[in-house]
Amino acid sequence: MTVEERLERLEKELRITKHELARAQAVTEIANTMARYNYYHSGGRQRECLDQFAMRTPGVAIEIAMWGQYHGPEGLYENYVEGIARHEEAAGDGRKGWYCEHPIYNPLIEVAADGKTAKAEWQTFGPETAKANPADPACEYDPNWMYGKFQADFILENGHWKIWHLQVMPDIMCPTCEPFTKQKPHDDFIPEDMPGFGDRVKSFCEEYDVNKVRKFWPQPPEAYDTFEGSRMHALHKPTKEDQIEYSYQYNDFTLEEYMAYLEAKDPWKE
């Protein structure tokens, strides 16, 4: 091997190493972006919430619970500033008595092979307070639990990892003093001070119901090469191929069948 060939090989290996290092670093940066969003959301800092989104990238969007989607910078501003901030302010006394914490855990972050986008999912569980009628000074706050999942797509925007699409999917929203098995779906909840809240496009959100079989959705993101040719992790409806309905047939196999499946999926390397 000539000196030139050795240098060419070393330069190629260096490019690959730097690329893989950037992908590994992206996992931490993405986790920090999502954590910052949660801290600012809990603190009522809507400007800083918007800072965590790819506000200059086409397609930026969110979907909150069962209440629909907001698209583009205008949609996100409408939700966080004209919606959430004013809804909280309607309770009076500068958020007095207001509480909302959504700690996230169990991160699953898949950075694309090309290092330009990522798909991620977290679980979340935390307390909230809410008023049935924020404009009524005599209306007391109700304490509630919220358990659910955050689905998100991230994109590199101007050198920073930003939220591109975000979906908040609650499984449980119930009073802290009641068993969650008694909760009722919130599909008909529409705040009067947030116009258009109930008329937006919705993908899929189904809260826990003791009388229903729980569906396998959302599903964990898988490794992928590029965002083009794949589908976004958030803001889409499940398809028949996703097989979200439970069936024992998925668990009806022998150990021998499983080992054959495993070898076909991930051939053993000597």
For 217-255, write each residue's pLDDT tens digit: 999 999 999 999 899 999 988 999 999 999 999 999 999
Tell me the DSSP string of 196-230.
TGGGS---------TTSPPP--S------S-STTS
Q: Show me where the domains of the chain are located.
A: 3-265
| pLDDT score, position 201 | 83
Average pLDDT, the chain: 90
CATH of domain 3-265: 3.10.450.50
Q: What secondary structure letter does DSSP report for 183? A: -
Q: Which range among 73-82, 137-146, 185-194, 226-235 shows the weakest confidence by mean pLDDT?
A: 185-194
Residue 173 has which token pair? 């929203």
